[in-house]
Amino acid sequence: MTALPPFQSLLDDHATEVMGVLRGAVGRADAEDCFQETFLAALRAYPKLDDSGNLRGWLLTIAQRKAIDHHRANGKRPIPVEEVAEVAIEDPGPADDGVWELVGALPPKQRAAVALRYACDLPHAEIAAALGCSPEAARRSLHEGMKRLREELA
Amino acid sequence: MKGSLQRLAERADAEGLLDVAYANVDSPFGALLIAATPRGLVKVSLPAYDPEEALEELATRVSPRVLEAPARLDDARRELDLYFEGRLTEFDLPLDWQLTDGFQKKVQRAINRIPYGKTRTYTEMARSAGNERAVRAAGTACGTNPIPIVVPCHRVLRTGGALGGYGGGLPMKKALLELEGSGR
């Protein structure tokens, strides 16, 4: 086991990316709260972390959970998505060329669907659960959001 | 982003998660890194040393919950500024001695009692710590002092008045002694 680096280095290296992902996932207005919750949770757990090998993935996983918690709290009904927290995050790549800014500008449902799919790597059923809608509606939001992004990036 | 990080440090402090707060401080000798635990000042890293290494040492030996949080070090920063201006002769800061122990700690606590403007020899320090013959160990204790300047190891000289050593470099030791009016 390699020694844990000073927590400040996690902020220096990953805070901007975590904030970007959260802005995409929950919108600019709520991203700050989720950001604070993410890093406070990380700070709480940090000394007992066994593996310092993938700190970025660890932080993004916590951010994913906080984004889901946020959607749950705003949703109409409680949602059983306990198991997703352990899903490893697919690397969205640090260079996003401002894509997350565009994602943040999408209408809320589309924004959340795109972020949960591509930043948090959730399958459609779990996106639906997190958003409190049917899988069909989640798929439609994702489709609409992606269509709009493609148009803006074209 | 800066505001978010400042808020995070404040919330971490309020929740008791800020085990080690640090700040960079300007000094006439270059940038110092200073760090405090909730118990007190735990580390002063002189400009001659790599601040990254100091932070890694704190993460390994104190706690990995190390955050840049200058607000927690306001008192220490103010006292250091006044000291460098020659307007403060005695630091009044709580100290955390956890980065030292044993005979070295005894020597360092004795060093902490040397008054401003005075000097002592390594032999006197060894004697103060309870072992007059451990002069070499007293020298080592000066060299490993985790809180230099505040714990004034620059006031310890060789018998006969030669400067001896200093982690921050001999020019800095000489300048500190001159600042305190005991230069040679």
- Which residues constitute the domain of residue A92? 7-153
What interface predicted TM-score (ipTM) does this complex get?
A: 0.91
Given this chain, do its domains B2-84 and B102-179 carry the same CATH topology?
no
Reported as type and span, the H/E element at residue B135 is: helix B135-143
Distance of alpha carbon A153 from alpha carbon A114, whole angstroms: 15
A2 found inside a domain: no
Q: What's the rounded Cα separation, in Å, for the pair B8 and A39?
A: 8
The reply to whether A89 falls in a domain is yes
Residue B150 is which amino acid? V
Q: Please indicate, yes or no, if residue A103 is contained in any of the structural domains.
A: yes
Put simply, the answer to whether A32 touches B4 (Cβ < 8 Å) is: yes
Let me know if residue A113 belongs to a domain.
Answer: yes
Are the C-beta atoms of A92 and A117 separated by less than 8 Å? no
Q: Report the pLDDT value the prediction gives residue A114, as an integer from 0 to 100.
A: 86
In-domain check, residue A85: yes
The correct answer on CATH 3.30.160 for the domain covering B2-84 is yes
List the single residue in A with minimal CA-CA distance to B67. Answer: A8
Give the CATH class of B102-179.
mainly alpha
pLDDT tens across the length of chain B (184 residues):
889 999 999 999 999 999 999 999 999 999 999 999 999 999 999 999 999 999 999 999 999 999 999 999 999 999 999 999 999 999 999 999 999 999 999 999 999 999 999 999 999 999 999 999 999 999 999 999 999 999 999 999 999 989 999 999 999 999 999 999 986 5
Average pLDDT over residues A116-133: 77
pLDDT at A102 over 60: yes
Q: Which chain A residues contact residue B20 at CB under 8 A?
A: 6
Angle between helices A108-118 and A7-26 (to 10 degrees): 140
Question: For A48-58, what is each residue's pLDDT tens digit?
Answer: 998 888 899 89
CATH code for position A15: 1.20.140
Classify residue A82 by its DSSP letter: G
Domain residue spans of chain B: 2-84, 102-179
Contact A6 B55 (CB under 8 A): yes
pLDDT band at A77 (very low <50, low <70, confident <90, very high): very low
Q: Residue A1: inside a domain, yes or no?
A: no
| CA atoms of A36 and A23, how far apart (whole Å) | 13
Q: Please judge whether B5 and A11 are an interchain contact, meaning their C-beta atoms are less than 8 angstroms apart.
A: yes
Catalytic: B153? yes
Chain B, 139 to 178: residues with Cβ < 8 Å from chain A are none
pTM (2 d.p.): 0.78
Quick one: average pLDDT of A54-82?
77
User: 């996690």: which residue's tokens?
Assistant: A10
Query: Total domain count for chain A?
Result: 1
Q: ∠A63-A97-A25 over CA atoms, to 5°?
A: 25
